[in-house]
């Protein structure tokens, strides 16, 4: 019997022995050898179009301009201990605050999105003198005890207690805008001591677009209650939805926005809290002085990334490619009963599939079938798969992606639902 396993499978097996297993991360799908542009390649030489990229790959994997900038930075300045300024960190802060559409702004950088969410919570608490937060049940804001507590009213009991003073409201994507607004209005009025901040993604990264008028109304309610509105744009910011800030679609200016993921170009970890300068009220407090808060390499990565996004007008490109994807999917759906439609904005998209068919096939089978067709992605809820490529993806690559998805879905339909078999897919 042949007992040899492939290099990719061998690495996955080694990985499984030494990493704690956790939902969403293990088991690994393959061992990677290289990433480039819209593609990832495993150790067995299989290439996949990366329609997930953890939403970090706005400027494409292994962007050559970013790699050159990082190599130059390594020759120049590699670290900046706390209480020293350095050029890339300051220039990044200047560039980001310059994008803020509502007057003077300031920033703090962290190494991860979860930490940045917690810095934003602290700023809001200090500025308002209150401690309670409102967040949407079923949202996701990171894994810190503060950030994860925002996501669920009752996280798994085995994890113990989270921050107190958390009020969870019904979400627009599950219960509709009216229910969400009713809950928010009640919480703002009845929470003892008042509410410091309402924290939400302006467009949920499961790609449910909020109804028009929702965020302006939330803004109005927060203003009336003296509550800060914090938008978590960790996946949706930096041009992904077709505008630099996702909130620009919705007519509501937040008090703070949290950026992350793609900020480091997908190469290095960095996140940011960007807020009106009026939140600079507690110089005597440490709000998040992280070891790498002004790391010259992470900030060089972000400075280069944001400069590329602005220079190459990638937000507008994402908006244009969204229309292309919608048109192509409409064409495909006509001959494939599994494919329904597209939801989302820009290139933060999900392809909606027939829910019953998806459940029948099973999520794991669907993702395996997509991988076999050269597509790396995730499910988005129980009715969709993510279509979240880099903003630099070519039109030809979009066609390759949709052809691969069409093929995978049709094959699965043939296997699991004989009645839907034989639908031609182009």
Ligand X SMILES: Cc1ncc(COP(=O)(O)O)c(C=O)c1O
Residues that bind ligand X (CB under 6 A): 112-114, 117, 140-142, 201, 205, 232, 234-235, 260, 271
Shortest approach of ligand X to residue 301 CB, angstroms?
14
Dig out the tokens for 237 from the structure.
């910011």
Cβ–Cβ contacts within 10 Å for residue 11, how many?
19
In angstroms, the CA 86 to CA 52 distance is 33
**Between 25 and 323, CB nearer to ligand X:** 25
Shortest approach of ligand X to residue 142 CB, angstroms?
3
**Between 225 and 234, CB nearer to ligand X:** 234
**Between 239 and 374, CB nearer to ligand X:** 239
Dig out the tokens for 306 from the structure.
């944001």
In angstroms, the CA 296 to CA 293 distance is 9
**Between 141 and 380, CB nearer to ligand X:** 141
Shortest approach of ligand X to residue 365 CB, angstroms?
25
Shortest approach of ligand X to residue 147 CB, angstroms?
7
Q: Which residue's CB atom is positioned nearest to ligand X?
A: 113
Which strands, in side-by-side order, build the sheet including 384-387? 339-345, 348-353, 384-387
Distance of CA 36 to the CA centre of its chain: 20
In angstroms, the CA 173 to CA 379 distance is 16
What is the C-alpha R_g of the chain? 22
Shortest approach of ligand X to residue 305 CB, angstroms?
15
**Between 347 and 409, CB nearer to ligand X:** 347
- Selection from 203, 109, 200, 204 nearest residue 147 by Cα: 200
**Between 24 and 422, CB nearer to ligand X:** 24
Shortest approach of ligand X to residue 224 CB, angstroms?
26
How far are the Cα atoms of 63, 372, 380, 425 from residue 358, in angstroms, in the given order?
A: 35, 17, 12, 17
Shortest approach of ligand X to residue 214 CB, angstroms?
17
**Between 114 and 373, CB nearer to ligand X:** 114
Shortest approach of ligand X to residue 75 CB, angstroms?
28
**Between 115 and 383, CB nearer to ligand X:** 115
Shortest approach of ligand X to residue 240 CB, angstroms?
11
In angstroms, the CA 398 to CA 270 distance is 28
**Between 142 and 149, CB nearer to ligand X:** 142
């Amino acid at each position: 019997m042949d007992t040899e396993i492939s290099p990719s499978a061998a690495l996955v097996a080694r990985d499984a022995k030494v990493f704690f297993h956790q939902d969403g991360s293990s088991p690994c799908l393959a061992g990677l050898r290289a990433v480039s542009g819209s593609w990832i390649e495993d150790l067995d030489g299989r290439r996949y179009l990366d329609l997930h990229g953890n939403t970090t790959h706005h400027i494409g994997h292994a962007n050559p301009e970013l790699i050159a900038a990082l190599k130059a930075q390594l020759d120049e300045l590699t670290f900046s201990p706390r209480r020293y300024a350095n050029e890339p960190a300051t220039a990044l802060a200047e560039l980001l605050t310059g994008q803020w559409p509502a007057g003077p702004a300031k920033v703090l950088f962290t190494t991860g999105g979860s930490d940045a969410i917690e810095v934003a919570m602290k700023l809001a608490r200090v500025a308002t003198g209150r401690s309670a937060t409102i967040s949407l049940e079923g949202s996701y804001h990171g894994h810190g005890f503060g950030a994860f507590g925002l996501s669920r009213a009752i996280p798994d009991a085995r994890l113990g207690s989270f921050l107190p003073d958390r009020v969870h409201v019904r979400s627009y994507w599950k219960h509709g805008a009216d229910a969400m607004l009713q809950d928010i209005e009640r919480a703002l009025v009845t929470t003892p001591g008042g509410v410091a901040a309402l924290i939400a993604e302006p467009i949920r990264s499961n790609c449910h677009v909020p109804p028009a008028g929702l965020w302006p109304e939330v803004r109005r309610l927060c203003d009336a209650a003296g509550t800060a509105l914090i938008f978590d744009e960790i996946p949706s910011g930096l041009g992904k939805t077709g505008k630099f800030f996702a909130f620009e679609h919705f007519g509501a200016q937040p008090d703070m926005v949290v950026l992350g993921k793609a900020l480091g170009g997908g190469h290095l970890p960095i996140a940011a809290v960007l807020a009106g300068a009026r939140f600079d009220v507690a110089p005597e407090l440490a709000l998040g002085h992280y070891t790498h808060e002004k790391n010259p390499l992470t900030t060089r990565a972000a400075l280069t990334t944001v400069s590329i996004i602005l220079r190459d007008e990638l937000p507008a490109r994402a908006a244009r490619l969204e229309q292309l994807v919608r048109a192509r999917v409409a064409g495909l759906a006509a001959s494939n009963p599994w494919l329904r439609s597209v939801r989302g904005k820009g290139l933060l998209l999900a392809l909606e599939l027939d829910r019953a068919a998806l459940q029948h096939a099973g999520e794991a089978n669907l993702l395996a079938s997509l991988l076999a067709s050269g597509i790396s992605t995730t499910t988005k809820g129980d009715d969709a798969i993510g279509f979240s490529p880099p903003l630099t993806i070519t039109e030809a690559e979009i066609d390759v992606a949709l052809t691969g998805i069409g093929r995978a879905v049709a094959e699965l339909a043939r296997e699991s639902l004989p009645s839907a078999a034989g639908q031609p897919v182009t």
